[in-house]
Structure 1
Amino acid sequence: MGVTEQLHDELNAISGSQHTAVTINSTARAGNDFLVLPRRYTKDTAIAGFLIDREDLLRETLDVFDGQVDTIYVDIEQKKEISLFQTAKQMLQHSRLEALKPNDMAVEACDMLIRQQFGDDVENRRIVIIGTGNLASKITLRLSERQARVYMLGRSRTKEQNVIDGLNTFVPAYSAPVRSFSELPDDGQPAAAVIAFIIGQFQEEARLLPYIGPETFLVDGGINNFSGQLIQQLTARGLTVTRLDVRLGLPYQLMAADNYITEFFRDVFGKTEISGITLVAGGFIGEAGSVIVDSITRPGQIVGIADGKGGVKRHEHLTAADEEAIRTIRDAFSVSL
């Protein structure tokens, strides 16, 4: 089936849903000019997905879906010479364009997968991360913040140590530091999880075997990071080996269009003036004397009076004008303090 037919098949498949969208990704890998990805569904949105690495195929895809779907999410991470997002900005006339961050989606998906697997509790669990790149580093930091004991295994010992040193400058003060796989204790205790985020197949699988026990959870985050032989061997032993499905991270990508987010910027965040009194909310830093409230359109609580430096005046520092401003807003909206 040709590209044109595949595009129209996907359009037909998602048509009829309350909301429709398309994701267009790129990849650093070679050999994938065009690939149809698994469809994704939320409670009211159907999403078709494509991996595209050629300008002509990108333009054809945008032509087919522009105006036929509500939103087109386009990869902002430029992994090759082609800039998907720049082309989409130039071409799209009808559908809403949103920047897509696949790496962040992958991290969110992996984090959610691990949380689900371990009942949202990885404290003191040993987790091996294979890789020292973007995704491996991000999930390492995330799991370390969740109090896991994380050990990184890279192809280059020098880069491995440099990444570990860098990550340990961010790790919370009372979390266990990130360590090298070579420091993993040889005490017979297996790793709780092994997560791979590399390009291509990991070539040192024999090093992993002593740390893989009956309950070890393996995640192939980079696609084909584990050999077929290892997967066959482990699944025969009853172990769970999972290829990361980034659809788990879809809510993160859709968050910008979520009602809570749109309502926050519409109703909560900002600055306004009522009866000559300046109101600020949602983190908006106001000048000294501004009344800080919980919502710019429907105040229900007065937080305090801005000191003009990003903080809130202490009660004993309030002026008569500050007290009057509080009374005026409290009476106008029947809000609490």
Structure 2
Amino acid sequence: MNVNSSKSDVIRLIFCSFITKESVAHDMLEALITDINQYSLLLISTTSRNSVQISRLPDKNLNGQPVANILLTDRKLAQELFRKIDGQIENILIDVERKQEINLMEIANEVIKRSRVLPYKPNDVTLEAADQLILHQLGVDLAGKKVLVYGTGNIAFKLALRLLEREVDVLIEGRDPEKIQSIVTTLNMIKPRYSCAVARPHQEHIDFKYDGLISFLSSEKIIETKMSIHIKPSGFAIDGGIGNFQGTFIAAALEKDVSVLRLDVRLGNPFLFAGITSLSDENEFFNTVIGSNQVGSMKLVAGGVIGEAGSIIVDRIKSPTQIIGIANGYGGLKDEKQFTEEDRKNLHYAKETFI
């Protein structure tokens, strides 16, 4: 009897704990979206960290407009969230980068029927923010500089490549030596052919100084005091993963007059806004530039459309202002010696009609 009672108590305790967690998460979700219908745009993203199921991040400001921002990592909460906000907000941007098993875009496409769902890549926004901050710290001409990139993930790799493209020597540090070497090999393989910059594994015994350090790690307090040894005075240390630096590292870096910064991704907002604009129904390029149009026997093409031979290539399909030439049918322009009588007639008509 006591054994059975004990088992019952355990089962009841587990059940109550599950219900409590579910209830807390549900209540948290309700609290997060009380004002969601006041926004015209919502960003929903995920993270590689497992510490938070759902949270409301600070609003972003894009082109003067507040944008709601929610982070979540749980599939059931994602389904419930999407059901509740569907139709309450006009545009929902979904993080398409798979940082965990959860696939936000797949869930959104299953659940959301009234709001407009658009993809976005927050890692790219973070990359642009990091690039801008480094340019601010070191100046626009980075040739010959040396930067340590601590991390071997998506953003770290992209930033390392960006720095190599800017002629910066890049040192890669991380926890997996084999992965570090693979990344270094790949970076040196795909960098611009004539770039003098080189990627290499970081080694503590190196005898040269680097101009800055930037970390992108999913763990906290990884960057130790010794990592400050080779940073030049008046160099920089950027915490891109937020919480990567140990207190002793920060103190040692500040002692050397190193600028210690946390990466503020608001630096990337102009790039985020540009990406959103490119996906909108009002995108000028897709509405007025690219396309093809038949005018009598003459065909106009613009915006990269490869026309058949004889098509008139113009600068924009709506209200063109410039004639580029006559298509040769395989992606280039006809030489004037190749013009047919029909080509000359259509070219004259186009100039008289549109330009």
TM-score by length of 1: 0.88
Give, in whole Å, the separation in 2 of the partners of 1:315 and 1:31. 66
What is the aligned partner in structure 2 of residue 133 from structure 1? 153
Identity between Structure 1 and Structure 2 (%): 36
Letter in 2 for 1:174: Y
1:6/1:243 Cα in 2 relative to 1: closer, same or farther (>3 Å)? farther
What is the aligned partner in structure 2 of residue 6 from structure 1? 31
Select which of 94, 105, 119 maps to 1:85: 105
TM-aligned CA deviation for residue 130 of structure 1: 0.9
Select which of 30, 47, 61 maps to 2:50: 30
Select which of 179, 185, 188 maps to 1:168: 188
- 1:21 and 2:41 are equivalent in the alignment: yes
- 1:71 and 2:91 are equivalent in the alignment: yes
Select which of 123, 126, 139 maps to 2:143: 123
What is the aligned partner in structure 2 of residue 47 from structure 1? 67
Question: RMSD over aligned Cα, in angstroms?
Answer: 2.4
What is the aligned partner in structure 1 of residue 10 from structure 2? none
TM-aligned CA deviation for residue 206 of structure 1: 4.7
Whether the aligned pair in 2 keeps the contact of 1:10 and 1:48 (CA below 8 Å) is no
TM-aligned CA deviation for residue 272 of structure 1: 1.1
What is the aligned partner in structure 2 of residue 211 from structure 1? 230
What is the aligned partner in structure 2 of residue 246 from structure 1? 265
What is the aligned partner in structure 2 of residue 159 from structure 1? 179
Whether the aligned pair in 2 keeps the contact of 1:35 and 1:52 (CA below 8 Å) is yes
Determine helix, strand or coil for the equivalent of 2:189.
coil
Give, in whole Å, the separation in 1 of the partners of 2:188 and 2:332. 31
1:207/1:276 Cα in 2 relative to 1: closer, same or farther (>3 Å)? farther
What is the aligned partner in structure 2 of residue 263 from structure 1? 284
What is the aligned partner in structure 1 of residue 313 from structure 2? 292
1:202/1:150 Cα in 2 relative to 1: closer, same or farther (>3 Å)? farther
Q: What pairs with 1:185-334 in structure 2 (closer than 5 Å)?
A: 186-187=207-208, 190-201=209-220, 203=222, 205-235=224-254, 237-258=256-277, 262-334=283-355
Determine helix, strand or coil for the equivalent of 1:213.
strand
Determine helix, strand or coil for the equivalent of 2:232.
coil
What is the aligned partner in structure 2 of residue 62 from structure 1? 82
1:24/1:144 Cα in 2 relative to 1: closer, same or farther (>3 Å)? same
Whether the aligned pair in 1 keeps the contact of 2:234 and 2:256 (CA below 8 Å) is no
Give, in whole Å, the separation in 2 of the partners of 1:119 and 1:293. 39
TM-aligned CA deviation for residue 29 of structure 1: 1.5
TM-aligned CA deviation for residue 205 of structure 1: 3.0
What is the aligned partner in structure 1 of residue 126 from structure 2? 106
Which structure is larger by alpha-carbon Rg, 1 or 2?
A: 2
TM-aligned CA deviation for residue 201 of structure 1: 4.0
Consecutive unaligned residues in structure 1, runs of 5 or more: none
Q: Which piece of structure 1 moves more, 297-306 or 316-325?
A: 316-325
Tell me the alpha carbon deviations over residues 109-155 of structure 1, each in whole angstroms, 9 at most, x when there is no partner.
21122223333232221111112221111001111111222221232
Whether the aligned pair in 1 keeps the contact of 2:228 and 2:252 (CA below 8 Å) is no
Whether the aligned pair in 1 keeps the contact of 2:168 and 2:198 (CA below 8 Å) is no
Q: Which piece of structure 1 moves more, 37-46 or 60-69?
A: 60-69
Count of aligned pairs between the two proteins: 327
Determine helix, strand or coil for the equivalent of 2:210.
coil
TM-aligned CA deviation for residue 184 of structure 1: 8.8
1:55/1:201 Cα in 2 relative to 1: closer, same or farther (>3 Å)? closer
Give, in whole Å, the separation in 2 of the partners of 1:30 and 1:11. 25
Give, in whole Å, the separation in 2 of the partners of 1:38 and 1:206. 31
Consecutive unaligned residues in structure 2, runs of 5 or more: 1-23
TM-aligned CA deviation for residue 262 of structure 1: 0.4
Whether the aligned pair in 2 keeps the contact of 1:256 and 1:262 (CA below 8 Å) is no
1:182/1:74 Cα in 2 relative to 1: closer, same or farther (>3 Å)? same
Determine helix, strand or coil for the equivalent of 1:86.
helix
